[in-house]
Structures are given as structure tokens and as C-alpha cells.
Amino acid sequence: MLRQLNDVDHRLPTLGEAAVDTIGRIEKLFAHTPVIETSDAVKLRAAQRAIDKRAPFHRQRNGIDDAILIEIYADAIAPKAPAGTRFAFVTHNTKDFSHPSASDKLPHPDMAGCFSRVRSLYFITLGEALRRIRPAQFADLMIEQEWHEEPRRLTEITNIIGELIDKVWYNRHQVRREMIEEGKIKLVEKETFPVKDHESRPIQRDFWEGALKSAAKVEKKFGLENLGPWDDFEWGMINGKLSALRWVLGDDWDMLDT
């Protein structure tokens, strides 16, 4: 729920007065919602999901936080409640919680036991959940529209940054390699200073040998067909992506060091 509200807050300037009113109604609703603590039993069951490789551990990622969420929900619906009491689990994270081969609106089979047609419902948008549970209050809800994008996880962003750094470094390495082959940069046993202005800075031979080994690892990792050569537009896109993603994580603009 918190991630959902943060997403709405991010989009708020584009939504208009009606949506602002909707946000106010949702906040009032959540203000009366009790905070549920995470018990040791929940943590143990979440860990067992990891051992059994059951969703949300069916993908190659650490799903412990998501596993804790579904186990907390399982505890919440377990006690007998008064007749007419209904529960709802709401998430935009369809990759970890929804059915992998059927409709996103269906829970993953590993979690299906927590849901039913009436008492315990599964939703992938907050708007749909509120309209179903409180139709009179939220029939005009307009914050959801067609938004189904889930923000990228930090691990996804850092993995892409790592890939872009490797590719930028490899391209620069190839430029130096051409300059060495053409005699524009010299290999020396030990780098000495100062370097004359008209000379390109030499590269120490053992450093260059290490760079060659690193380049071979990059070639094996990505394949030569995915390492260029790139035209000016493609090269600009690669550098732009790296700069933008680094900026998102706190670096200054145009940070392209490798």
C-alpha cells in the first residue's frame, strides 16, 4: 500500500483537482488502519518459502520482503472473522505475486490458498480494490487509469549500470588498443613523469596486460556482437543511459567515469 501511495504522490502534479480529492479520501481511510508487526513465525515461514523455492522465490532474486508480506496476510486472514468480513491483498508487483502464465489478476499458484472468490480477494490495482470494497465511496476513483508499471528495483538499476560501465570501458579500451597498434601510445616497462605535451601518455606494460584480460572477460560476458562498434547516435544513447541512471542513484549529471 505504501509503495502505491508513493507512486500516486509522484504523479500528483499531473492528475488534477479531482485526483487530489481522491488522495485525501484514501489517506483518511488508511489513517484508521492498524499497523501489523512482523512475527518470528512469519519470518520463519517466509524463509521456508525461499528453501522450497515457492513464490515469490520462483525468480532469480531475493524475495524475502515479498514473502514476509504474503505470510503476514496469511496470518491476518487466518482467524475466524464475523460474517461479511472481507480481506484484500493489493499489489502492482505482478511479476512476484501474480500467476506466471495466466491473467495478472490471478494470484500465483503458490499463494492461491490465501484467496477466495468472496472472503479474500486479490487485486493488482488500488483503484479496482477500493471500487470493489467501497463502491459508494470510490466509484469515481481516477488515480489508477491505465498505470500498471512497477518502479524498477534497485538491483535492476545497479545491474544495468554495471553493464553500461563495462561497455563504455570496453569501447575506450578498444580506442587505446588501436592507438597502441598505430604507435600513437607506447608500452613501457615503467611509466615515468613528466610526459612531454606533444606525447601521448604511455601505458605501463603490466597494466595493459591486465586490461587485455579484463577485455577478454567482457567479451565472454556479453559477446562481441553486443560490444559495438556503435555509431554516434548509439554511443550517445549508451552514455546518456549511464549518466541518467547514475543521477537517479545520487551522482552528478554526466558522470561517466569507468
* Tens of pLDDT, residues 202-258: 888 889 999 999 999 999 988 888 898 888 888 889 989 999 998 988 888 888 887
Pairing of strands 203-204, 87-90: unpaired
Domain shared by 211 and 112, yes or no: no
Q: Supply the pLDDT for residue 115.
A: 95
Is 226 inside any structural domain? yes
Spatial distance between the Cα atoms of 151 and 229, rounded to a whole number of angstroms: 32
Domain shared by 9 and 125, yes or no: yes
Domain shared by 8 and 131, yes or no: yes
Into how many domains does the chain fold?
2
Residue 17 pLDDT class (50, 70, 90 cuts): low
Domain shared by 110 and 10, yes or no: yes
Q: Is the pLDDT of residue 175 over 70?
A: yes
Buried b / exposed e over 69-107, threshold 16 CB at 10 Å, is bbbbbbeebeeeeeeeeebbbbbbbbbbbbbeeeeeebb
Q: Supply the pLDDT for residue 47.
A: 94
Q: Supply the pLDDT for residue 105.
A: 92
Domain shared by 74 and 132, yes or no: yes
Is 98 inside any structural domain? yes
Spatial distance between the Cα atoms of 231 and 246, rounded to a whole number of angstroms: 23
State the average pLDDT over residues 59-85: 88
DSSP state string for 145-205? TT--PPPPPHHHHHHHHHHHHHHHHHHHHHHHHHHHHTTSS-EESS--SPPPTTSPPPEEH
Q: Find the domain containing 129 and state its range.
A: 2-138
Is 220 inside any structural domain? yes
Q: Which helix (H) or strand (E) holds 90?
A: strand 87-90
Is 75 inside any structural domain? yes
Of 9-13, 41-45, 84-88, 96-100, the range with the lowest mean pLDDT is 9-13
Domain shared by 97 and 7, yes or no: yes
- Report residue 29: phi and psi, to 5°: -65, -45
Buried b / exposed e over 211-220, threshold 16 CB at 10 Å, is eeeebeebee
Spatial distance between the Cα atoms of 108 and 96, rounded to a whole number of angstroms: 8
Question: In terms of pLDDT, which residue wins out, 200 or 111?
Answer: 111
Spatial distance between the Cα atoms of 18 and 55, rounded to a whole number of angstroms: 38
Query: What percent of the chain clears pLDDT 70, i.e. is strictly above it?
Result: 82
